[in-house]
Chain A
Amino acid sequence: MAVKNKVASKNKRSLANRDEPAEKPDVFPTAQGIDVPSEPEQSSDEDDDVEEGDFDEILKEMAEDQGFSSADEEIENENELDDDDSEGEDDNDGNDSEIHSSDIEGASSEEGEEADSEDIESDNDDISPLERTNSRLTDGQETAVDSDDASEAEAKDEDEEDEEEGEDEDEASKLANEGMEKLTIRDFGSDLSGWKEYRKTLPQIDAGYASDSSTEEPANTIGSVPIEWYEDYSHIGYDLDGKRIMRPATADELDKFLDNMDNPDVFRTARDEINQKDVKLSEEEIDIIRRIHGGDIPDANYNPYEDTVEWFTSQTMVTPLSGAMPSKRGFIPSKWEHKRIMKIVRAIRQGRITRSKPKSTKPKYYDVWEKAEQLGEKIKTLEGSARRPRLPAPRAALPAHEESYHPPPEYLPTEKEKEQWENQIQDSNYRKRSFLPQDFGSLRAVPGYDRFIQERFQRCLDLYLAPRMMKKTTNLNAEELIPRLPDPRDLRPFPSAEALMYVGHTGRVRSISVDPTGLWLLSGSDDGTVRMWELVTGRCSGMWDLKEVVYMVSWNPNPDMCMFAAAVGGRVVLVTPTGICDDQKQLVSEEFVRAGFTNTGNDDEDDGSLPVSWDMPTSAEQASGIRVSVAMHKTVKSVAWHRRGDYMASLTAEEGGSSVLIHQVGKHKSQRPFRKLKGAVQAIKFHPTRPWFLVTTQRYVRIYNLMQQMLIKTLQPGVKWISSVDVHPQGDNVIVGSYDKKLSWFDLDLSVKPYKSIRYHKQAIRQVQFSRRFPLFATVSDDGTIQVYHGMVYQDLNQNPLIVPLKILRGHEIRNSLGVLDCVFHPIQPWLLSSGADGTIRLWT
């Protein structure tokens, strides 16, 4: 037994521990066969907390820990397992003892050790052949065979000798012998065939009939109750059914004696008190008794002087080999692994661990040019990078029908096209394509491409040498740039078509004017005439031949009067036309005009400084309606009426300066409001609502207050040559037209700079005009067009004027690069009248 303890230190330990549980069955027989509960889980401190999501890794780790993945890792894993299970050893041993105690039931306690060794060996039997092979490569063959034979013989003997020992014991003994053999496994060496033979001779475990304990007669079931307790009873115990087991009849003294005399085996008969019968001892038992008496080891087969087995070599080796038996624990599924796995399983069931998302599979193909473009992008995004970004080369066009070897006939060039192509300069951009489509009936007939190298070369040149530039273009929608304006159709009425043409003048019509009632139209022309037209029919109902160029005609704006002024040559004539107004009005007008003649004498001295003379016209002229002639000695370019019709301003302009005079018609008095005027005056205008006067020089529009005699504002249109000016009837807005094609709209409340500048005309703007009644204004130009705009001025001062171009009216012919010269809105209707260099006046409705 001491030697056996030497066999494995671990086994020894287990045996020591086994003693206690081995005794337990006696006290608590029912506990046998019941699993001893394993140690509480408190011992699972070695288990790491399982983290969610690590499931895959953990499983993988587990699989590796199992040691089944590869043979090479076995030893290592074993060791690991050993280490792992070191703490749980007691528990394992407990399991072992279980098996043990059940196995040795009914056997004598003396045989515990053997049974133990058998237990170990039986465990070893579970080793897979491969492992066994690995572990026993160095075992010797011969000893194995020998010992095998011996053990077999012994076993047979034992069977014959004592059947009562039962199968368990037989097996145990056999396996014990086997274990003996195994103790000598080192002797096998590397001889594999020896091992194989040894393997073959292993006794087959056969569960025979004898092994069935049910065939035995019912045993006494009183347990460990001392038989003395039943001395006074006729029975000695109870069977399983609770019936008394009667005391067998005992022989009396005479019988005993006779038996002693007669029975030769009496000396070897012993009384079994429990079963109350005599038992004949076998030879072997006698031998054991004998040995015990003699102080020997009871087991006859035990060799106390066996050779030592060098589990660990005494020689110091460079790479020491362990001949140690593989640990039993290596073949038992680890409880702790099981617990870890169960923990993970629980975690999965509770949903604490979820399967990680499957990784998206990448496409196997890839874009060859992707990197190049990305590179370009990357460099582009690098701000401040000095490197010029690499621009990807333009891709070659894909081949089309015409590049086919057998193109459809419509792609084939005609003879003419061929000739044309051949005449074109080679390798130039004149050629639409660098080849001529050709038709080879089949692919076989296609010759080698002679220009291949050349073409590749060109392509390479283009790729590597052609400079490329990155141009930044802003994606601007043209419509976004245009301000949102209402639809002109919603802004009706406005003049949109020619309705009438007033024909009669033979020269340029420089100026037109409509009388306050809107029935009569005046026109002054280069042919020296002033004509009056019936506006609706176009009938010329009056004509004054004044012999000189008429620069300006203007109706007196006073509706109570019927009188107009015409600037003709060096004078201004005031005319009261006959036959168009009632007698009373005419009388008033004539009296008003002539009234000054009576006053003339009084103010002679004052007027002397001015080059103005108020003259009575000739009788012929008087007959035609000309009432007063105001001579100025310089060409009068323009006249302007004050809105009340009593004051009239005149502008004379020649080389050497221009002068502006304001005349009081009722008194025939003139005055010069401005001593000196800078620059050439282009136009003059009375403000429609305030006592202001607008003097337009070449670049600026100056607004003077006549009452306070001071300059109020100087408008700066920013143009080179102003041609005309008009004031909105409400008085807060001024439009200025210029010879450099620009129209400027000023809001007098805002700034002296234009609120809006519009340049639509192709030529110089000649005249700008507001409609007195409708939110309209018009510009006329040398390009022969009239442009009509919607110009709404809101009463709300917060709202800016709305300017919408409405219509371009064409019709006037251009003569000597002069187009339309003047325009005027009808005072009542949304009609526009225009006069042109072609001698016509047109009505637009």
Chain B
Amino acid sequence: MEPSSEPQVQIRLVAKQQKYAVPDAPIVVPQQLQRYGLSDIVNHLLNNEKPIPFDFLIDGEFLRVSVANYLKEKNLSAENILTLEYVESMLPPTEIASFSQDDWISSVAAASVDRFVVGSYDGIVRVWNAQSECEDELRGHQSAVKCVAVAGDLSKKGKIEMISGSQDQTAIAWGSKNGQRRALYAARGHTGNIEAVAINPTNTHFVTASTDSTIRFWSLAVPKHSEDGQVALTEQEPAAKKRKGTNVDIMTKAAIGTLSGHVGAVTSICFNKDQESQVFSGGWDHSVRTWDVASGVNVATSLCDKVVLDVAYSEHSRLAATGHADHAIRLWDPRSQESTVVKLRLSSHKGFVSSVAWGPNSAYMLASASHDSTVKVWDIRSRTPLYTVQATNDKDKGKKLLALDWHESLLLAGGESGSLRIHSIGSRNESVAGIHE
């Protein structure tokens, strides 16, 4: 190589994945190099015929500018050896399918890589398969379905497969009965819209969050008979019965417990997958609360000053992510005793962040959907989003996104346009689900 007058810097390349390890000796590279150039160097060192894109981390932060600019920003000397950790960079999410329906999608949940449950404002819960066929249209709610949750694989028969919450203040558990999916029971008790529902990892209980500012805790099991309580009212109200139509006869389930503490509507709830009884919730009172559902105690309350629209907890990073009405995503450490500590505030969206989802296998990956019709994929080591997925269809453009789910390597998003956008995400080696249009 001819000697160049460009400023150079010594770097040491480190990889955590053994298969990508390169010699530990420092090498001298031009400072002008950016991610792409560094990636080339690593590929060259690995003698890869087919280059693999790598991302580079310095002190746990992604390198997003040239090395020279990084040194300038951080006021670092070019004399020292810079240690660069490199990871295989994630491929940009690619839209692999878009299933369209008429009404707004309020919620999505992937049961497996080939079955997706979609709750819609027309009150129907739809089950789509990977072949873009609508397997089932589950009618039962009198009003818009606001949330769905999936209990394990849908292929298991005779079990509760999913639960949907609706504006008609009921949550309906759906399951296979006689070879056909139908409503198994209706969980009644809330006096407001059910905004969120979550099933615990062992599929024994579920919680619902409602605009009546309460969280209710239910068992998932199908009751032997209709549990009274709310039933009395139903009997007294012939009009209501009439409206319920065919599903009047389904069993009613009563809540095990009620968690009250929120001052305004509760908009989101999620389980801690490590601790069975721990639940996180967020609401209009700007609080993120940690509950112990077994005892019904509000363990901790963290406050910010913006409405919480969604909350998600990652068992890998042990952080809770919340989407807010001020276009920001906030990361909380629920273990922290100080109640108002926001660990990180990610802002790039231009609308309400209606939904957030952690990457199922990563401690760093986070996805968010917003009213600005974009899905953003974040690595929380970087303050800027890794990828921004814009709506591709004209139909989707400018339409709000209301729901998001990340299942394995699939990113599902749905919203105002009524189309379920399915993106494949993850590193190249991970197999993409066999979704075919």
Residues on A close to B: CB < 8 A? 492-493, 499-500, 517-519, 536-539, 541, 578-585, 587, 828-829, 845
Contact = CB atoms under 8 A, between A and B. Distances in A.
Given A500-B352, A536-B352, A539-B104, A580 B402 contact: no
A582 B143 CA distance: 12
Most buried by B among A500, A519, A582, A829: A582
A538 B400 contact: yes
A518 B284 contact: yes
Nearest to A584: B233
Contacts, number: 68
A828 B144 contact: no
Contacts of A585: 191
A539 B418 CA distance: 12
Given A537-B402, A845-B326, A587 B211 contact: no
Contact of B325 (A539, A582, A845): A845
Interface of B: 104, 106, 121, 142-144, 167-169, 190-193, 211-212, 233-234, 237, 240, 243, 264-265, 267, 284, 305, 307, 309, 325-326, 351-352, 354, 371, 400, 402, 416
Most buried by B among A499, A537, A585: A537
23 contacts: A492-B305, A500-B351, A500-B352, A517-B192, A518-B284, A519-B193, A536-B267, A536-B352, A538-B400, A538-B416, A539-B104, A541-B121, A541-B143, A580-B167, A580-B193, A581-B191, A583-B233, A583-B234, A583-B240, A585-B191, A828-B264, A829-B307, A845-B325
Contacts of B309: 536
| 10 nearest CB pairs, A to B | A582-B191, A579-B143, A583-B240, A582-B169, A583-B237, A845-B325, A828-B264, A519-B211, A539-B104, A539-B121
Contacts of A828: 264, 284
A305 to B, nearest CB: 131
A582 B237 CA distance: 12
A536 B371 CA distance: 10
A580 B144 CA distance: 10
B192 A582 contact: yes
Given A518-B284, A584-B233, A539 B191 contact: no
A493 B190 CA distance: 31
Contacts of B233: 583-584
Contacts of A583: 233-234, 237, 240
Contact of B265 (A519, A539, A587): A519
A543 to B, nearest CB: 14
A578 B240 CA distance: 10
Nearest to A830: B305
A499 B264 contact: no
A760 B2 CA distance: 68
B284 A587 contact: no
A447 B307 CA distance: 84
B118 to A, nearest CB: 15
Contacts of B212: 582
A493 B191 contact: no
Contacts of B265: 517-519
Given A580-B167, A580-B193, A582-B192, 18 more contacts: A492-B305, A500-B352, A518-B265, A518-B284, A519-B192, A519-B193, A536-B352, A537-B104, A537-B416, A539-B104, A539-B121, A539-B144, A578-B243, A579-B142, A581-B192, A584-B233, A829-B284, A829-B307
A829 B285 CA distance: 9
A579 B402 contact: no
Contacts of A500: 351-352, 371
B190 to A, nearest CB: 8
A518 B351 CA distance: 19
A227 B156 CA distance: 182
Nearest to A538: B400
A769 B190 CA distance: 33
Contacts of A578: 243
Contacts of B400: 537-538
Contacts of B168: 579
Contact of B191 (A499, A537, A584): A584
A493 to B, nearest CB: 6
B295 to A, nearest CB: 27
A499 B351 contact: yes
B101 to A, nearest CB: 15
A816 B121 CA distance: 36
